Amino acid sequence: MKLIYVNEEWCLACHLCEYNCAFANSGVRDMVTALKGKPIFPRIHIEGDEKISFAVSCRHCTDPICVKSCIAGAISKSDGVVRIDREKCVGCLTCVLVCPFGALSPGEDGIMQKCELCIQNSFDEPACVKGCPNKAIVYEEREGNK
């Protein structure tokens, strides 16, 4: 299946992916209304320093340790996608303690959120990929991933 992969040599640290992600998951139709003047809580974020930058979002691991570790039974994997049930999550941060990628973070309400490949929202492909101006994030099949 297709997953999100990062080409860090192309990343400009423009942070557009963060804005596109926050917008895609806002449930609001207009980007300005959704984001202007508000703190954003994207499910992808840019890390790095002056030399290198790259986008971090859920890797949808083959054997996800967050699923095994969630004390609320809120994280599960189905159809290749690691998902979180925000109704069940209590914000204990155990998933933050175990994710080796730093891919989970709390939303505005303190409840955890993560990349679910834009399958639950109105976008049919990940908004971060669609909006990346330099193909530093791609959505594709790669060897070893079925």
Q: What's the CA gap between 61 and 77, in Å, rounded?
A: 9
Residue count, binding to other proteins (CB under 8 A): 42
Among 38, 71, 109, 134, binds other proteins (CB under 8 A): 71
Residues 36 and 117 sit within 8 Å (Cβ to Cβ): no
Q: For residue 137, give the 3-state DSSP assignment.
A: strand
Nearest partner of 82 among 101, 97, 63, 96, judged by Cα: 63
Which two three-digit tokens encode residue 56? 């971090």
User: Does 35 participate in binding other proteins (rule CB under 8 A)?
Assistant: no
Instruction: Let me know the angle formed at the C-alpha of 119 by 28 and 122, rounded to the nearest 5 degrees.
Output: 30
Among 19, 105, 115, 118, binds other proteins (CB under 8 A): 105
Among 15, 59, 77, 130, binds other proteins (CB under 8 A): 59
Whose Cβ is closer to other proteins: residue 48's or residue 133's? 48
User: Does 97 participate in binding other proteins (rule CB under 8 A)?
Assistant: yes
Whose Cβ is closer to other proteins: residue 31's or residue 61's? 61
Q: What's the CA gap between 20 and 131, in Å, rounded?
A: 7
The one-letter code for the residue type at 98 is V
Among 98, 107, 121, 130, binds other proteins (CB under 8 A): 98
Which residues contact other proteins (rule: CB under 8 A)?
3, 5-8, 47-49, 52, 54-56, 59-62, 65, 68-69, 71-73, 87-88, 90-102, 105, 142-145
